[in-house]
Amino acid sequence: MAVAPGLACLALGSRGDAEPLLAVLARVLATNSDPSVRATFACRPRVWAELVAAGAVPAGIEHARVPDCTVPMAVALAACRRGRDPSCVPGAEGLSAAEADAFVRDERAGMLAACRGARLIMCNLFSLGEAHA
């Protein structure tokens, strides 16, 4: 059986970064006349929990998990982008470049999984790199 065409939204960042895209995805889904179309929203579990608690997630939108990013991991990722060893950077709590690379691979895998079968992919600027992958 063929996979139904889908809608995917990639939203990294905080609830404030993700919620506007969720609203657009919900509107596109609501105006679609094909009930077999699925919608997937890729974001961090912490953000998804906030959106659900706020009642912002309409029925018919599935969550695609993207790993939560801690402050030390964000510092480590920034260090790696600058060509520095994150284990030597204050705030990265000794995280290694290998751990930062593994985080990026997991994050990318979550985003790409959300896009499988999608005919429309929306993303915010924080996830733009993943959309190109």
User: What pLDDT does 48 receive?
Assistant: 96
User: What pLDDT does 2 receive?
Assistant: 39
User: What pLDDT does 34 receive?
Assistant: 78
Residues 6+ positions from 55 with CB-CB distance below 8 Å: none
**C-alpha–C-alpha distance, residues 10 and 52, integer Å:** 17
Residues 6+ positions from 100 with CB-CB distance below 8 Å: 73, 76, 77, 79, 80, 86
List the chain domain ranges.
6-132
Q: What is the DSSP letter of 45?
A: H
Instruction: Write out pLDDT tens, residues 90-124.
Output: 999 889 999 999 999 999 888 888 888 888 888 88
User: What pLDDT does 5 receive?
Assistant: 56
Would you say the pTM of this structure is higher than 0.95?
no
Which position has the token pair 């990318």? 108
Residues of the chain with pLDDT under 50: 1-4, 133
